Structure 1
Amino acid sequence: MRFVVAIVLFVTAFVAIGVGIAQRTVWAGPDSLTLTADTDSAAVLTLLEGSVLNAHEGRQSVEISGSEQVAAATGRTDDVLAWIGDARYNRIDIDPETGEFVTEVVEGSELQVPPITGSDLWLNEYTQENMLTFAVDVPEDYSMIIAADGAEPAPSNISVTWPLDNSAPWAEPLVIAGLTLLLLGLAALIWALLHLRRSRGPRRKQPRLPKPPRARRYKPAQRAMTSTGSGRRNMIATPVALAGLLAIGGSAIVATPATADPVGAASAGETAAPEIELPPTAVTESQLRRIVANIGQTVAEADEERDLKLARGRLEGAALQFRKASYEIQEEDDELGQLPVIPQRSVKLTLPQQLSLPAQGETWPRTVFTIVQDGSEESAPPVALILVQRDPRSQYKVHFAITLEPETVIPDVAPPTVGAARLPEDTKLLAVAPKDLAAAYGDVLLKGEESDFAELFDLTDDTLLPQIGVEQKDKREKKIPETAEIEFSNAPGKSETIAFATNDAGALVALAVNEKETVRPVEEGAAVNPDGAVKALSGKKQSTKGITATYGNQLLFYVPPVTEGGKIQLLGYSTSLIAASEVG
């Protein structure tokens, strides 16, 4: 009987181990799924939407070929479609019946497009010659755009591979159970061998004492029947146990892991809280870091070569006006016209514009407020940049580059994932409407505390006012000889005023104020002799008519809400000569 138990344990162990190994080898399914699309149209773009890329779970491995230059990029679906615009493109989808890729051509009036590489809309981009292979994990609301160079047809061969879960959850338990049973079988075999050896050894019987004779009676032999019955029960129980173990192993072959309930699904009797859909933002933090690095590098190259055309690719408005004048001054004198560099890294604050919901349509232009600092120099002052993107295919350009005071405290603003609303210039929710702020501060610069607007501003912490305010103007006037006169005036700059909402219902407002300083001779035969940057920019060594110099001021203010009654604070400024000419 003990040998039978050992044999049953051995058989069950081998079956369990065999089934476990088979689940990982011969019965294992494929470890990946690949779908391929072949396009033969002349369209220069191909679109792979997020719903297609997420048709199966797992990280997507993409392989693209079929053109000399291969480029791909990922971005929010709405941004990708906005960049495509009216261009003709291939759209790849999945056939619900066959599960294979199908391609359709979406007609459009634009047959050629600019290269897709380098766009500020993309979260990631990839480029390679002949064949491009990369792995991504594209979210549901993001899509992929594929192109060659924008003029040639898009790459014709596209394949996407997803990993498949071919794991066998019962394989390891079965192998462990089999090994355990194998050890038990060995133990049972050793036990049986020892018992057999003891049962065959010599036996010594004690002599029996004589017994008196007694009458014999007939009695049925119950012992033999009991022994036989017990053996049959053991023999029946063993196949039953074997069948049970085989049933467990067999079920493991066809069993699949139970599908978990969807995350966030409400159980019976419970009501799921409604999810609040947040509007998208103009950029993500990773996008902004890449954009700022590109801007800093481009402007540095433009500064080195004094290349205004290159600078126009990343500068606009007051920031471009400063650079244009600086390059012209440096052409005359290398020691003059230097401007602070725009840091390429160390983004300290990211405040993108909060856009409309996709159902309401995307908004352009888009605006971003950010603060950057040169990480290599701890003493370098932080710089506030106001970036504007005019349309989907344009790059973000710096409209304002404003140097902040080292101890400047920026009011609390929303996190980058939420963003802030860009306020209209005529909003009535602030202490002063953004469109009126430049004229009000300009009046304070001319009149000081006697200005009607002086009480609106916190002048005690204003570090610009002592440099160009009314007291400084009085000192300038006293230095002018009696043969000449000086006149001061100012006006809002041509750059648009940009206001971002803060958490306390106030606003960060960036604007430009241009100040003019005109010096004229008042006696016959007298002349004005400009010097320094004014001389270099005007191109005049002497003038009997007079010289007008225009200084640009890029200013950043915090404007409190109209209900709070607080004062407007100057957070930072940048000042530079932007024009000089002879009085006409």
Structure 2
Amino acid sequence: MSLFNAASGGTGGNVRFVFAILAFAAAAVMIGFGIAQRTVFLEPDRVALSSSIETDVPFIVVEPSALEAYPGKQTLTASGSELVFLAYGRTSDVVAWIGDDEYATIGYDAETGELVTTDSSELGTEGEEPGDAAEETSSPTARPAPTATPAPEPADEADTDAATELEVDPAANPAGSDLWLDEISGERSVTTTIDVPEDIAVLIASDGTNPAPSTVALTWPLDNATPWAGPLLAGGGVLFLVGFALVISGFVHHRRSRGPRRNQGPRGKLPSGPKPQALRRSQMGGRRSIGRAKRVALLPVLVIPVLAFTACSSDYWPSFEQPPATTAPATTAPPLASEEPVATDEPDDEAEPEAEVLVPAVTVPQMERIMKSVAATAADADAALDAGAAADRFTGPALEARKANYAIRTSLPDQAGPVPVPATTPTLILPQQVAGWPTTGRTVLVVAKATDDDTVAPTALFLQQMDPRDNYKVVYAMALAPDADVPEVAPASIGAPLISPEFKGLVMQPDQVGAAYADVLINGEKSEYASMFQSEDDLLQQQLGVAGQQVTRDELKATSPTADIAFSNTVGEGPTIALATNDSGALVTADILQTEKVTPNDGGTIGFQEGAPGAALSGFTGKSAKGVQRVIGVQLVFYVPAVGSEEKIRVLGWSESLVGASEVP
């Protein structure tokens, strides 16, 4: 029985060693494959494409097909000119800004996997296929270089170089345009990383006159994650620990199986003990085995943490998360130079026209950047009383009000300034919905607060961009009325339709609102339009209406008893802007000019009071038998309800300023 037990114990230890060897082998294979996936089998982490432009065109457009050739963020590098300018925006905006100028496009050929460059001069004329036009042209037509006027016999070589140097056209420089979502510039080479949504193109240029950079490179990050590397390394580490545990267990079991037993040999003389020399060898061998055991025990302590740290990256493990869906708005754009017309089987007369996709004229970040520029220009012009600088960002009634204010403050520095443009983040942005470039330009309503003080009225600005190469300019600048009940409007990501001035779906046509309210200010309740306007809490009627005019008459009688005053209102030349609200109504602008004419009634003379704004603006300081007059410009925004509504038209905001003063003609 004892012989059987001894054999069984030895077999159990050997089995543990066999399984330990198998565990070590499997661990080595798994760890080896895991390391190989992150080394020799690892795919590149990015893909790169490049293109060279051989023509001297001033602009290069990187099409959406090139930017979207691979998923992920695009790293774009442009080089090959002294000055490098990059901007990105909607494809339609980029093409509209370029206009008739020559440019090259960079697209992507999915079949060859390469970038394709096309010059705009390769487009065929009407009725010709682009390919046929390209075959007839032996080489791409470069933009003709501007020629300089020859100098009369330059004295030296330096003068010759100066005479032939290209003159840069500021109007052709794309830098600073309000159309761009963002822009960047540098010398010789520019690299930027962007993540553009659908139908966004990149414009590359130098200064708009000299040739654009000649080399463009695009790179995208690739997903080179190895989701099985982590499980292989971790599994190998676990098997290694299992094998190590089996080895320890085998040694323990082996030592136990060699423990003391009852002597089963023949009775007689006991065997002699080991000699001292053999005993020393046995003790020394035991120490060596203990040292080896310690080194073996340290091996997993060192290996396992290394495997744990190397496999902690998310690239080492499979991911079960779904990628977030894109929320980028879809946009439409006219075809670029490299896009060929698509043939259809149906005749043109039977094909249904595609519905135009309307998008907001600007994005929120884009408009916030524009407003920072407008606020900075307004602040500088207001401080310097520079009407020329103000014209860069103001037009129409808003510019006329500032010009007059600057003229008055030149003589009367203590006079109040014009309606300020807050440099704060707008609280409301309502862009017009557009499809391409309408003939009326693009319009945006912006409301901003200068301070958090509720007693300070927010500023409402109507801005228009009339041409792709023009920037947005403030047409109307006014303060909202106290407790103005502004109707709900669409979010900035959707925008509002621009309503025609002749639209009959409102209680009053937008182009008639200004004249009707001007009549109400003059005639009050006797006006035929008085019942259509909300007069309750209308502070403007109290100031410039019948009640306010009577106050002015009483003040004039107190100071000049022999003078009479007459009031008249006309509609100014400011545009009628109507943006739709969510309840089918509209926000409508108007420009009214109220003239105050003072004439003597006793055959005498009369003039402006000394130090009055009228005298400062007109420069007329004498007396006149014909009288003097002042013109007050009133910028207004109304809420006009839809047809069938029981609401009345109400004033939401206004600004009044002296815009004219002179002797009565």
> Would you say same fold, with TM above 0.5?
yes
2:363 maps to 1:284 = yes
For structure 1, which segment, 330-339 or 40-49, has the greater mean C-alpha deviation from structure 2 after superposition? 330-339
Q: 1:486 aligns with which of 565, 576, 583?
A: 565
Counterpart residue identity of residue 245, structure 2: A
Could you list the runs of 5+ residues in structure 2 that have no partner in the other structure?
A: 1-14, 124-141, 145-168, 266-316, 327-354
CA-CA distance at 1:406 after TM superposition: 3.6
Counterpart secondary structure, 2:373: helix
Matches within 5 A, 1:299-448: 299-336=378-415, 338-356=417-435, 364-375=440-451, 379-448=455-524
Is contact 2:228-2:318 (8 Å) kept?
A: no
Q: 1:3 aligns with which of 3, 17, 26?
A: 17
Residue 117, structure 1, aligned to residue 198, structure 2: no
* Cα 1:326–1:79 shift into 2, 3 Å: same
Q: Mapping of 1:52-71 within 5 angstroms?
A: 52-71=66-85
Q: Deviations over 1:111-141 (max 9, x none)?
A: 7762111111111111112221221101121
Q: Give the counterpart letter for 2:445 in structure 1.
A: F
Q: Alpha-carbon deviation of 1:27?
A: 1.4
Q: Secondary structure at the match of 2:518?
A: helix
For 2:517, the aligned partner's letter is: Y
C-alpha displacement of 1:425: 0.8
Kept after mapping to 1: 8 A contact 2:73/2:220: yes
Report what 2:616 is aligned to: 536
Specify whether residues 263 and 377 from structure 1 end up closer, same or farther in structure 2 by C-alpha distance, changes over 3 A only. closer
CA distance in 1, matches of 2:55, 2:451: 49
Q: Residue 215 of structure 2 is aligned with which of 118, 132, 157?
A: 157
Specify which of 517, 525, 535 is matched with residue 459 of structure 1. Answer: 535
Partner deviation per Cα, 1:127-166 (whole Å, 9 max, x = no partner): 1122212211011211110111111111112211111111
Q: Which one-letter code corresponds to 1:38 in the other structure?
A: S
Aligned residue in 1 for 2:94 = 80
Matching residue within 194, 198, 201 for 2:252:
194
Q: How far did residue 333 of structure 1 move?
A: 2.1
Q: Deviations over 1:66-110 (max 9, x none)?
A: 112111111111111111111111111223343222222112998
Indicate conservation of the 8 Å contact 2:65/2:108, yes or no. Answer: no
Is residue 133 from structure 1 mapped to residue 191 from structure 2 by the alignment? yes
Check whether the contact 1:413–1:503 (CA below 8 A) recurs between aligned residues. yes
Q: Which letter does structure 1 place at the counterpart of 2:195?
A: D
**What is the 5 A alignment of 1:483-562?**
483-531=562-610, 532-541=612-621, 542-562=623-643
Alpha-carbon distance between aligned partners in 1 of 2:357 and 2:103, rounded to the nearest angstrom? 30
Deviation, 1:335, is 2.3
Residue type matched to 2:370 in 1? I
Equivalent-residue separation in structure 2 for 1:448 and 1:503 (angstroms) = 31
Question: Partner letter of residue 4 of structure 1?
Answer: V
Cα–Cα, structure 1 residues 96 and 51, in superposed 2: closer, same or farther, change >3 Å? closer
State how far apart, in whole Å, the 2-side matches of 1:343 and 1:387 are.
14
| SS of equivalent residue, structure 2 residue 35 | helix
CA distance 1:529–1:94, shift in 2 (3 Å)? closer
Following the alignment from structure 2 to structure 1, what is the Cα–Cα distance between the partners of residues 364 and 488? 18
**Cα contact 1:414–1:420 (8 A) shared by 2:** yes
Read off the aligned partner of 2:537 and give its amino acid letter: D
Deviations 1:236-258 (A, max 9, x none): xxxxxxxxxxxxxxxxxxx9999
Tell me which moved more, 569-578 or 191-200: 191-200
Partner secondary structure for residue 347 of structure 1: coil
Pairwise CA distance, 1:309: 1.5
Cα deviation, 1:335-384, whole Å, max 9, x if unaligned, reads 2362131112230111110113x6xx766500011101113755432011
Q: Is contact 1:68-1:148 (8 Å) kept? A: yes
Pair 1:471-2:547 in alignment: yes
Contact map agreement 1:302 1:310 (CA 8 A) in 2: yes
Aligned to 1:212: none
Which amino acid is 1:456 matched to?
M
How many residues are aligned here? 524
Q: 2:241 aligns with which of 168, 178, 183?
A: 183
Amino acid of the residue matched to residue 398 of structure 2? Answer: A
Q: Aligned-pair RMSD on alpha carbons?
A: 2.6
Q: How many angstroms does 1:536 deviate by?
A: 1.1
Indicate the SS of the match to 2:172.
coil
- The answer to whether the Cα contact below 8 Å between 2:45 and 2:221 also exists between their aligned partners in 1 is yes
Match of 1:90 among 104, 111, 129: 104
Q: CA deviation at 1:184?
A: 1.1
Identify which of 644, 651, 659 aligns with 1:563: 644
Aligned-partner SS, 1:440: helix
Q: CA deviation at 1:202?
A: 5.0
TM-score (norm 1): 0.85
Contact 2:27 2:236 in 1 (8 A): yes
Q: Write the mapping of 1:30-41 to structure 2, written as runs, cut at 5 A.
A: 30-41=44-55
Distance in 2 between residues matched to 1:84 and 1:110, nearest whole Å: 13
Equivalent residue number for residue 298 of structure 1: 377
- Which one-letter code corresponds to 1:471 in the other structure? A
Unaligned runs of at least 5 residues, structure 1: 208-254, 265-275
- 2: CA distance, partners of 1:168 / 1:48: 33
- Tell me, what secondary structure is at the counterpart of 1:427? coil
- Give 1:514 shift: 0.4
